[in-house]
Amino acid sequence: MIEHDYAFCGTVDDIKRKLESISKVYGAGELEWFNWSFPQGFVTWDEAEWQLETFATKILPEFKE
């Protein structure tokens, strides 16, 4: 899944690069949607919350206009 960009894993900078790449390919720079999912039972609530907070504060702001 990672190899084909169905799942993103890595550092904040890794994820920013992946999102920038797909937003240009699939949305002409305006990606319309993004699916966020957590496999139940594989991560704790605290870990899921940390991941979402990290995405919201360190990654998403880079893509706001």
- pLDDT for the residue 50: 92
- pLDDT for the residue 42: 87
pTM of the model: 0.70
| pLDDT surpasses 60 at 4 | no
Contact 59, 16 (CB under 8 A): yes
- pLDDT for the residue 3: 64
- pLDDT, tens only, 9-63: 889 999 898 888 877 666 565 667 777 777 778 888 899 899 899 999 999 888 7
